[in-house]
Structure 1
Amino acid sequence: MEYKKRKEIVGKRFLCVKNINKPKLSRICDWGWRSGIIRAVNRTDSTHPSLKCLVEFDDSGWEKREWVSVQKSFQVFLVECGLTWA
């Protein structure tokens, strides 16, 4: 059975790294990774250059949600694509 993937990113988990100068690939574990959930977006097209997301980081309380500009604020921004039960 083939499952269709959701195109929207609201409600999905993410993993990100803030902009850092000349990241060393050999020290990827030291990059300052953060994770959380995307709560809202300002655009339906997730590839748009002015995409902003209302994010809730795992290490902060839900009261401290913040709007972030994905392409300007982060070196790496990964969003879950699909979950598989095994």
Structure 2
Amino acid sequence: MNELVLLTFPSTFYALRAEKVVQGAGLRGRLIPVPRELSSLCGLALELDPAEAGRALYLLQATGIVPERKVRAVKEGPCLKNISDIL
């Protein structure tokens, strides 16, 4: 089981900026297609290590990038389980 944090954004532009900010700070973050468990719409989500999610969120807020949704989940194979929103 792999625990992860996913951030979604209102547009691809913000997702790309978020990835650049996070990786520029030396944090592990990568863009993935938004999982179907989160949205039926196409788009990108930023996948983060839960241990680095707090710092990543702080950096994003400091640069004016506000995620649309913040989710903690467990990845089991190709599916997400135990999905919970982070406030």
TM-score normalised per structure 1: 0.30
The one of the two structures with greater contact order (alpha-carbon pairs below 8 A, sep at least 6) is 2
| Length-normalised TM-score, structure 2 | 0.30
| Structure number, greater radius of gyration | 1
